Amino acid sequence: MFELSQDHEDLRAVVRDFAEREVEPHIAQWDRDHEFPTHLMQMIGDLGLFGLVVPERFGGSKEEGGEGGPFTALCVAIEELGRIDQSIGITLSAGVGLGINPILSFGSDEQRERWLPDLVAGRALAGFGLTEPDGGSDAGGTRTRAERDGDEWVINGSKAFITNSGTDITSICTVTARTGTADDGRPRISAIIVPNGTPGFTVEPPYDKLGWNSSDTHGLTFDNCRVPVDNLLGTEGHGFRQFLKILDDGRIAISALATGLTRRMLELSTAYAKERTAFGKPIGSNQGVSFQIADLAMMAEASTVLTYKAAWLKDEHDAGRRSAAEVAKAASIAKLYTSEAAVSATRIATQIFGGNGFMEEYPVARFYRDAKILEIGEGTSEVQRMVIGRHLGLTA
């Protein structure tokens, strides 16, 4: 059965020390200023976190043919960064899952050799252009088009809510686009790599968001944007299928991010309930408060089990011992529970902190703002319930 190895726990200690030393003292200011800490990416790269699932020949730390749970290790790192700040946690999650993983999983050797070393080192970031302004959860309803013109693709359309797409070190965005129509009348959706700075490719101004203020998020516009035909990622017409697989992995990573948040709410609430007094005694001695913290403990434990079971299944699948369907079902279950638990956890923690919980001076306020997107990104809660229902044979 799944369990975290000593190597995983050693990695946890390293990332926790890094997050508490290099992130925690600065994150309140970064959040207020909506600042993306570019310098931190190189530091994360130096720790090897961007390369946990990447083979050594591309600059990563995954041994060729080796085991040891590299995806589980990535989830440990994301959880620990997310425990201190969700913006930094999602930057790693998206940097690997949505930036590196498409190229690693479906790219040609030339594409991997060209783009992966800088992405793994933290010298560059990559975006993942799937969602569209009119599409939302209907990712299959892609309107962006790419037409073949000689040795080039000509791309027109737009994308929305794209993470890591407009930083000073963003090198590429992989986007989905219609490249024709299949025999059954359905659109052929393909994935194409678009380098930032390509004429006709515009990164729109950053969004003014409720949370994740230190995470980079932009809309993208393509106006007769031309890239070489060799920038096609994988097989033409398989782009949507490819990105569904990427999303399964991403849902587990979001679960790790949510788990870090819930654990932090448990830690902060427990400490505060022991220190804060009212009516002559610590508020934690009141049953109403202690019951709420008991619920936080339950949610943190359940989130941990669901997340790392899904991560273990992912590693087992990569080793050929588990099916893709098992991973997909576990990923949706984990993502659904942990994201909804995280939102509840921040509400409970804010209530325990009382008036202080409403003040930006206390981190629970930032986590409260950050939590809601966990129920939306990488597939909404409604989508996860739909996916789980399909795996149970309840819906078509």
Please, which residues have CB within 8 angstroms of residue 91's CB and are 6 or more apart in sequence? 36, 41, 125, 163, 164, 214, 215, 216
3-state secondary structure the chain: CCCCCHHHHHHHHHHHHHHHHHHCCCHHHHHHHCCCCHHHHHHHHHCCCCCCCCEHHHCCCECCCCCCCHHHHHHHHHHHHHHHCHHHHHHHHHHHHHHHHHHHHHCCHHHHHHHHHHHHHCCCEEEEECCCCCCCCCHHHCCCEEEEECCEEEEEEEEEEEECCCCCCEEEEEEEEEEEECCCCCEEEEEEEEECCCCCEEEEEECCCCCCCCCCEEEEEEEEEEEEHHHEECCCCEHHHHHHHHHHHHHHHHHHHHHHHHHHHHHHHHHHHHHCEECCEEHHHCHHHHHHHHHHHHHHHHHHHHHHHHHHHHHHHHCCCCCHHHHHHHHHHHHHHHHHHHHHHHHHHHHHHHHHHHCCCCHHHHHHHHHHHHHCCCCCHHHHHHHHHHHCCCCC
Token readout for 259 is 């788990």
Token readout for 65 is 């043919």
H/E run at residue 302: helix 287-318
80 is catalytic: no
Residue 181: beta bridge partners? 187
Catalytic residue among 22, 79, 80, 378: 378
| Catalytic residue positions, numbered | 378
